[in-house]
Amino acid sequence: MNRKKVIIGLLVVLLPVLAFGQGWVWEGADSSEALVIRYVGGNTATATVAAAGLTLADGDASSTVTFTNATMSIDTLIATASAITNAAGKKVFQVSKWMALGSDVVSNQFITATNVIKKKQSVAVCKWDTSTVLHYDVMGSWNNLGTVLNTVEGGRTINRIAGDVTGTGNVTLRVYADDDVVYQKAVVSPTYALPAADNGTNITTNTAVNAVYLNEELGIRVKTGDRTWIRALRATTATTGGIGIETQ
């Protein structure tokens, strides 16, 4: 048999497997972005994130969206940032939700950072400060941030959610399609365990265990066009650790 034909035949069989095989995505604490910003101007832009506001700069022109109060929402931030114009009066920033709900508040919620956005590039920005917002987030949909804003790829299945969501208090795990809940689970924390050693009395005080390790088998299909993402929210504190998904 012709060796070239054999190789081509193997590639035809393997390419779908390589393209749609299982994958693992992990987001640690302080690393999940709330927004995606696409820049359509002709310069190189920056998006500077601070506790009190988001500054978008196009060349020498810049504007700041000030987080005016403790209840200012993601939806309000997006609307305000999308209306920013450059020195020529043109709107050059297209802003969209990523790992966020429209109702999420933004004041003092983000990690300080400066992001460079090149012409016709989209960049995920505004990383949640885990110890402040008390949630861990990971994206279950994929898009090409470099070319198309918020054109989400479907045709995948979220097989498993796993993670070490370090902190205290109950955990609420939710899977969202855009802002709609498609799966929810509550985990009570702390649990209690017998102490490692006998205290020498007739009364034993159980030890509180705050650790919550997620390992959920789901099989949730990601629909074309949906922004499917996962959030694990702790009731009292959140510190280190993270959350991940296995997809197929």
With bands split at pLDDT 50, 70 and 90, how would you rate the model's confidence at 223?
Answer: confident
- 144-156 pLDDT, tens digit per residue, is 444 334 444 556 7
Q: Per-residue b/e over 129-162, b at no fewer than 16 CB within 10 Å?
A: bbeebbbbbbbbbebebeeebbebeeebebbbbb
- Write out the two tokens for 213: 């390790």
Find how far residue 111's CA is from the centre of its chain. Answer: 14
Contact status, residue 67 vs residue 96, Cβ threshold 8 Å: no
pLDDT of residue 83: 97
With bands split at pLDDT 50, 70 and 90, how would you rate the model's confidence at 90?
Answer: very high
Closest Cα to residue 173, out of 228, 214, 232? 232
- 20-45 pLDDT, tens digit per residue, is 345 889 999 999 999 999 999 999 99
CA 106 to CA 183: how far, in whole Å? 25
CA 231 to CA 205: how far, in whole Å? 33
Angle at the Cα of 101 from the Cα atoms of 230 and 246, rounded to 5 degrees: 15
